[in-house]
Amino acid sequence: MSTSTTTAGSTVRAPRPGFKERVDSLPRALKIGLWVLFAIFLFLLPMLNIPVITTEGSDFGGVLFTVSTYVLVALGLNIVVGYAGLLDLGYVGFYAIGAYTVGVLSSEHAHLSWIVVVPIAIGAAMLSGVILGAPTLRVRGDYLAIVTLGFGEIVRLCLVNSQWLGGAQGISDIPKPPSLVVFKVPSLDWSGGVPVIDLDTTSTFLKFGISDFVPYYWLALIVIGLVLLFDILVKNSRVGRAWEATREDEDAAELMGVPTFRFKLLAFALGAAIGGLSGALFATKSGFINPQGFELLLSILFLAAVVVGGAGNRWGVIVGAIVVGYFPERFRDFADFRVLVFGLALMLLAIFRPQGLLPPKRTVRAKRADARQAVLEEGEGNA
Amino acid sequence: MPDAVQPDQAHQPDQPRQPLSVDEVTDINPDVVIAPEDIGGPAVAEGEKLLEVDEVTLRFGGVVALNEVSFHINKGEILGLIGPNGAGKTTCFNVMTGVYQPTSGAVRYLGQPLGKRKKFAITKLGIARTFQNIRLFANMTALENVLVGVDAHHTTGVVSAMFRLPKHRKEESQGYERAMELLTFMGLDGKADELARNLPYGDQRRLEIARALATSPQLLCLDEPAAGFNPAEKAKLMELIRTIRDQGYTVLLIEHDMKLVMGVTDRIVVLEFGRKIAEGSPAEIRDNPAVIAAYLGVDEEDAS
Amino acid sequence: MQYLLDNFFALTITGLTLGAVYALVALGYTLVYGVLRLINFAHSEVFMYGTFACLWIVVFLGGRAGGSLGSVIFWIAMMFVAAMLMSGLIAVLLERFAYRPLRKRNAPPLIALISAIGASFVLSELMGLRQQITGAVGFDTYLRVYVANSRNNTGMPEVFSPQPVFTLFDYQVTNVDIFVIVGAIVLMVILDQFVKRSRLGRGIRAVAMDPEAAALMGVNRDRVIQVTFLVGGVMAGAAAVFYMLKIGITRYDVGFILGVKAFTAAVLGGIGNLRGALLGGFVLGLAENYGSALVGTQWKDVVAFVLLILILLFRPTGLLGESLGKARA
């Protein structure tokens, strides 16, 4: 893929093949094999009890689940912000709608089963995305941010003030998903310095109990896999191209035949649906939800996950979600300073690495081409 | 075809030419067939009215940008739209493509008024355009830019994409084929995977035309396609426009370069201060006193 | 409905008073947006620091109820000085450290917003953690009065008791109310004249309309932007004084809701439009109060948000139309 270009007078060495290139050039079967191994590693992660990574204070399975909800949210928000270029500061609203739909329909006012309730929650979130998006996506970019922020807050205020939705006390006794016992997975015990398989401490695939959060994490992983697949399939199609074109230059895109409003609304609705799905999973794992869990700060954290990771790059936002979801849990001792550190991180990131940790392909290509250009220009002077 | 003069050498005689594959400006391949695909809609015979601008007036507050402008363009023509700066040429394009709604009057395409159609709907009807200052999708590749144009008539949505339904697969492969045809025609097939922003200026202009052609228009509107070109490049552009017409498109051209306009158009419409002041063949326009008066004070270089 | 009618004038005056505060804070948002097309998310913290400056200076000077007229005037004057200095300083620091580096790098708007959000959190958390921070360097006992309970509400000693001045139907309009409303209008007039007549004011308008042309005409863009932030900050400082006189309590996160409402007021009046900010502030204050009388006080904030959304949907240019600059698409 990368070649050396030699011209009379100056030799331009192509940048050394990066990690991505080397991975891409492996034979397909090997790549699939690596992915499978990686997936297995992820599933086993909570059982491996790897010393430094595992959180001491809180249950690692629970932490992994939290990180997974962040990953889901980041993937959904990435469609809105990264692909379609729409600034959404109220994403927590969809997350809350997903969670509360589950709460209301399976605990507060009805007792429908989990399998029925979750799709309804996704649908409710998606519908609210359409209802919010239809009038507001015509609004100018900056204003969209504030409108969505207002939406997020309106949702929260309605939740707090409405007794029908549980009010400030929230909704509890949300039932677990139905269990399907397949097999037990042992854990690793590192207390002796060397990992030893501990057959007593196990998690069951898939038994949803009260104390063991690992099966929830496994469920979340499966959902993430499906959403990732969906993301890849949709992005590499006319839909993905339409989003990119709209983000690049909306007027030009429309003049080239792209119904930009429809695609923006689609991005909004899909993002909302995924946010609602994540909220629904959160509600079932938690068993209990209240409005305090759906504050503006959460919207900002979600947005930060996307921006820190690299808006527009699905792997980047996953990394961002892991950073934003994991570090506060890992460093709980410094809980008081979490938000301060977070704010500083955002400021520094904005100044020094605005494209995020894993910038999307287009930014990398652009930077590399710019760098090549710069070398050329300097090279020509020396020729 | 004019001599293959290397534009870069013509510009920088003292610099040793160090072309890199990306930056080399290429020739078009006129033998590639890129006739407009059938997108449905009524058939129009050669020479019949394709688009009609009917007493269009456009007011912005107190400013009258277009004042009862009327002209038409026939199928198979190359019509030139000229006039001094600020005459309203691009504004006219904007009205024709749905960017502005006329204050009064109408634009009729194949006899039907455009009405309040959205921009993308007008493109789907069969009117496509390029821009005065290039508006490519800078961070997408050349191929992706053209694919967006081809997608104009596709209908793949989330569901088709998600399940890789036959519709998606058919549209993707057809789209890819058509896009590569257009890129090859423009001589850009070797640069299909380059980011649009990294292409040399001449290639960018060609890419924009390719992208517009990808929407299978009947009418192609070019807004100052020769801006920034040197004489050799302009000659190539004239060739390109003629070839496009010969392949079955109708072309409406805004240009400042008189030589180019006189050389390539069949008819010319002249605007000044939002009004049409003349219409006719190149020869008639060249000798028209009103036109000459309108252009007095313009650079020697631009006046024929 | 009956409640609304019964307390109409009380609601009106309270609405106008709070609206005056919104209006002054809105000026900061509208000025910065007009000149930079940036929503200065952290402006709410500029206001918040002003409220604390008021509080601290009063405590420091030993302000208390029952003082002589001379000392009351002195304390209030010092409140203005302290708050305006503090808010102005925070605003200028914000510009220097959160926004200027991004401007120099031509950062896209999303990134500027991220930086703004980050700065907002940093500022509010610093205030909320002041007890821990001073504790770390051993000053927390010494400064106890200023830093204790940093996460909770902190009240300001009442410097004077509001005296009713006249009665409007059955509501007694106090001197505080009049002071706030009139004060806001006076400040607005001063600012309006400044922007219209002074050299810097012209510079602000020029940069808002066309930064490049302004630079070509010799306007020092960096200086203009600094002044814009400073002026917005000073206005927020004044708003802080009025807020503390009327409400008397503050908290590290008092900025957030008030900031969003002030931004709503700015948009309501027309972004970039100074008079619009004044009108928007008053309209929002009134709408909030009347609205909450109709549907219940717990929905007060929702009224503001809903109003914001409605304005952006149906009249995005605001009541008085955009001025200074236009909103970015």
**Residue B70 carries which DSSP code?**
E
C314 and C20 in contact (C-beta within 8 Å)?
no
Would you tell me the crossing angle of helices A260-286 and A60-77 to the nearest 10 degrees? Answer: 170
Q: With an 8 Å Cβ cutoff, are A257 and B152 in contact?
A: yes
Angstroms from B148 CA to nearest CA on chain A? 6
C157 and C62 in contact (C-beta within 8 Å)?
no
Residue with tokens 């196990």: A202
What pLDDT, on a 0 to 100 scale, did the predictor assign at position A16?
Answer: 60
Delimiting residues of CATH 3.40.50.300 domain(s) in chain B = 41-126+217-304
Q: Does A340 touch chain B (CB under 8 A)?
A: no
Rounded Cα gap, residues C26 and C30, in angstroms: 6
In this predicted model, what pLDDT tens digit does every residue of C55-102 receive, in sequence order? Answer: 888 888 887 777 777 888 888 899 999 999 999 999 999 999 999 999
CA angle, C218 then C223 then C226, to 5° = 150
What pLDDT, on a 0 to 100 scale, did the predictor assign at position C242?
Answer: 92
B78 vs C219, higher pLDDT: B78
Angstroms from A178 CA to nearest CA on chain B? 28
What pLDDT, on a 0 to 100 scale, did the predictor assign at position A18?
Answer: 62
Q: With an 8 Å Cβ cutoff, are A230 and B119 in contact?
A: no
Instruction: Among B139, B165, B219, pick the best mutation site for testing chain A contact (most A Cβ within 10 A).
Output: B139
In this predicted model, what pLDDT tens digit does every residue of B174-216 receive, in sequence order? Answer: 999 999 999 999 999 889 999 999 999 999 999 999 999 999 9
What pLDDT, on a 0 to 100 scale, did the predictor assign at position A11?
Answer: 47
A152 and C328 in contact (C-beta within 8 Å)?
no
Rounded Cα gap, residues C300 and A57, in angstroms: 40
Q: With an 8 Å Cβ cutoff, are A365 and B153 in contact?
A: no
C28 and C236 in contact (C-beta within 8 Å)?
yes
ipTM of this complex? 0.85
Distances from the Cα of B302 to the Cα of B252, B259, B274, B282, angstroms: 19, 8, 20, 15
Q: With an 8 Å Cβ cutoff, are A253 and B148 in contact?
A: yes
Q: Does A254 touch chain B (CB under 8 A)?
A: yes
pLDDT at C296 over 50: yes
Residue C116 lies in a domain: yes
What pLDDT, on a 0 to 100 scale, did the predictor assign at position C232?
Answer: 94
Rounded Cα gap, residues A93 and C248, in angstroms: 33
Rounded Cα gap, residues B233 and B216, in angstroms: 25
In this predicted model, what pLDDT tens digit does every residue of B56-114 receive, in sequence order? Answer: 999 988 889 999 999 999 999 999 999 988 889 999 999 999 999 999 999 999 888 99
Q: Where are the alpha helices (DSSP H) in chain C?
A: 2-6, 8-36, 43-61, 69-94, 100-104, 109-128, 130-136, 144-147, 175-197, 199-209, 211-216, 221-246, 254-269, 274-295, 300-314
CA angle, B27 then B31 then B35, to 5° = 110
Rounded Cα gap, residues A383 and C317, in angstroms: 56
Could you list the residue range(s) of the whole structural domain that residue C66 is in?
A: 2-314
Q: Which residues of A touch C101 (CB under 8 A)?
A: 351
Report the CATH number that the domain containing residue C178 is assigned in CATH: 1.10.3470
List all residues of chain C from 77 to 136 with a beta carbon under 8 Å from chain A. Answer: 97-98, 101-102, 105, 107-115, 117-122, 125-126, 129, 132
What pLDDT, on a 0 to 100 scale, did the predictor assign at position B251?
Answer: 95
Residue C319 lies in a domain: no
Instruction: Say which amino acid occupies A50.
Output: I
pLDDT at B303 over 60: no
Q: With an 8 Å Cβ cutoff, are A336 and C101 in contact?
A: no
- The domain made up of B41-126+217-304 has a fold known as Rossmann fold (3.40.50)
A116 and A123 in contact (C-beta within 8 Å)?
no
Q: Does B154 touch chain A (CB under 8 A)?
A: yes
Rounded Cα gap, residues B241 and B78, in angstroms: 8
Q: With an 8 Å Cβ cutoff, are B198 and A239 in contact?
A: no
Residues of chain A with pLDDT under 70: 1-24, 54-58, 190, 192-193, 199-202, 362-363, 365-367, 369, 379-383
Instruction: Among B37, B118, B151, pick the best mutation site for testing chain A contact (most A Cβ within 10 A).
Output: B151
Return the closest-CA partner of residue A140 out of C281, C311, B90, C43: C311
Two structure tokens written together for C62: 């030993």
What pLDDT, on a 0 to 100 scale, did the predictor assign at position B220?
Answer: 95
Residue C99 lies in a domain: yes
Residue C324 lies in a domain: no
Return the closest-CA partner of residue B144 out of B211, B221, B198: B211
* Domains of chain A, each with CATH number or no CATH: 59-176+213-374 (1.10.3470)
Angstroms from C118 CA to nearest CA on chain A? 4
Residue of B nearest to A381 (CA): B15
Q: With an 8 Å Cβ cutoff, are A143 and C132 in contact?
A: no
Q: With an 8 Å Cβ cutoff, are C114 and A350 in contact?
A: yes
Rounded Cα gap, residues B81 and B221, in angstroms: 10
Rounded Cα gap, residues C59 and C147, in angstroms: 12
Return the closest-CA partner of residue B172 out of B150, B201, B191: B150
pLDDT at C139 over 80: no
Two structure tokens written together for C68: 């002589």
Residue C248 lies in a domain: yes
Specify the number of domains making up chain C: 1
Encode burial over A143-153: b for 16+ CB neighbours within 10 A, e otherwise.
bbbbbbbbbbb
Section B144-150 average pLDDT: 95
Q: Does A353 touch chain B (CB under 8 A)?
A: no
Q: Which residues of A touch B211 (CB under 8 A)?
A: 256
Q: How much is the mean pLDDT over chain C?
A: 85
Angstroms from A326 CA to nearest CA on chain B? 31
A258 and B120 in contact (C-beta within 8 Å)?
yes
Q: Where are the alpha helices (DSSP H) in A8-140?
A: 19-24, 28-48, 60-77, 92-103, 114-136
Q: Does B105 touch chain A (CB under 8 A)?
A: no
Angstroms from C309 CA to nearest CA on chain A? 6
What strands, in cross-sheet order, belong to the sheet with B112-113?
B63-74, B49-60, B104-109, B112-113
Rounded Cα gap, residues C212 and C191, in angstroms: 25
Q: Does A237 touch chain C (CB under 8 A)?
A: no
Judged on CB neighbours under 10 Å (0-12, 13-18, 19+), C300 is middle
Query: Worst-scoring range by mean pLDDT, A74-88, B16-30, B260-274?
Result: B16-30
Section C155-170 average pLDDT: 73
pLDDT at B22 over 60: no
Distances from the Cα of C137 to the Cα of B84, B235, C124, C149, angstroms: 72, 76, 20, 17
Return the closest-CA partner of residue B55 out of B255, B274, B252, B219: B274
Sign of CA dihedral A354, A358, A363, A366: positive
Among the partner-chain residues A236, A256, A373, the one whose CB lies closest to the CB of B123 is A256
Residue C326 lies in a domain: no
